[in-house]
Structure 1
Amino acid sequence: MMTYSGYLRQPHYYETDQMGIIHHSNYIRWFEEARVDWLAFLDLPYYKIEEAGIIIPVLAVSCEYKEMIRYEDAVKISVKIEQYTGTRLDFSYQISHQKTGNLLTTGTSKHCFLAKDSNRLLQLRRSHPEVHQKFLETFEAQNEASDD
């Protein structure tokens, strides 16, 4: 299984405050961009998930700022599944400076799977076994890689 190498991001000027530092509200958007990119990497682009009748709402999100990110700082956002149950999917994020590798920000997001037409909780193992299998295999591969 190929490993996701991360989402590369060059900050935009409009994302900064008057000091040229990325405004704190943008980090949550960056997590979403990275998560959507990660899903596309798994060949589960969000439009395919929605076409299958699945929505993945955010239940909780957190962000811890370790160092400031400035307009000129290109970053890499790493995405990892922290927990997968078939009804829940929790991620962790690490934002690092592309050149130095310094860890700048960490975060998490927690999600569940709902039926798009009814907003009822889905158990992917039953409702969408092929999607379930992809998430499960990725989660297990990440855990094996971190054990090495």
Structure 2
Amino acid sequence: MIINETSIKVRYAETDQMGVVYHANYLIWMEIGRTNFIEDLGFKYADLEKDGILAPVLEINVSYKQACKYGETVTVKTWLDHYDGLRIRYGYEIYKESGELAFTGTSSHVCVKKESFRPVSIRKTHPEWHEAYINALKK
């Protein structure tokens, strides 16, 4: 399985008055990890969008384990958890600078045509992405 690791320095603006990361910012970090994972496979979301394909979120599942705090550098690990040619589920773990697991989650997506929001098969529209996703699950 291919796993992307992305380091993120916790910014002051991402925290509350106690210096603890606000819960919604973990979703942004998931997106950063997902984008970097896709780039590791040799692709860019922007190119998919230029082709008239979007990948909206269907579902988010998260579990907060430990608080991340201002000044820490966290590591976001991202991998492909499931892919069936239509639906895609990414897995995430976020680790504190100390190495402690702070967060686990998944996000599920489906690719759709921009103009109609009708689902499309990446296998048919972007076979090179499909092949890379299949291979990412095997490794």
Q: TM-score, normalised by structure 1?
A: 0.87
Residues 7, 76 of structure 1: 8 Å contact kept? yes
Equivalent residue letter for 1:103: L
What's the counterpart of residue 29 of structure 1?
A: 28
| Aligned with residue 112 of structure 1, among 89, 110, 117 | 110
SS of equivalent residue, structure 1 residue 86: coil
Match of 1:45 in 2: 44
Deviations 1:49-76 (A, max 9, x none): 1123321100011221101110021110
Mapped to 1, the partners of 2:40 and 2:79 lie a distance apart of 13
Q: Measure, in 2, the Cα distance between the counterparts of 1:114 and 1:140.
A: 25
- The 5 A counterparts of 1:50-61 are 50-61=49-60
Q: Which residue of 2 aligns with 1:130?
A: 128
Write 1 or 2 for the structure with the bigger share of strand: 2
Does structure 2 conserve the Cα–Cα contact (< 8 Å) formed by 1:59 and 1:112? yes
Q: Point out where structure 2 has 5 or more consecutive residues left out of the alignment.
A: none
Question: In the aligned structure 1, how far is the partner of 2:103 from the partner of 2:24?
Answer: 13
Partner-residue secondary structure (3-state), 2:94: strand
Q: Spell out structure 1 runs of 4+ moving beyond 2 A.
A: none
Contact 1:64 1:106 (8 Å CA) reproduced = yes
Larger RCO of the pair (alpha carbons < 8 Å, separation 6+)? 2
Q: Which residue of structure 2 lines up, in the alignment, with residue 67 of structure 1?
A: 66
AA matched with 2:64:
Y
Return the TM-score normalized by structure 2.
0.93
Gap runs ≥5 in structure 1: 142-148
- Equivalent residue letter for 1:133: E
- What is the total number of aligned residue pairs between the two structures? 139
Query: Contact conserved, 1:4 with 1:41, CA < 8 A, in 2?
Result: no
Q: 1:114 to 1:63 in 2, by over 3 A?
A: same
How many angstroms apart in 2 are the aligned matches of 1:133 and 1:53? 20
What SS does the corresponding residue of 1:6 show, helix, strand or coil?
strand
Offset, 1:4: 4.0
Aligned residue in 2 for 1:86: 85
User: Is the Cα contact below 8 Å between 2:4 and 2:37 reproduced in 1?
Assistant: no
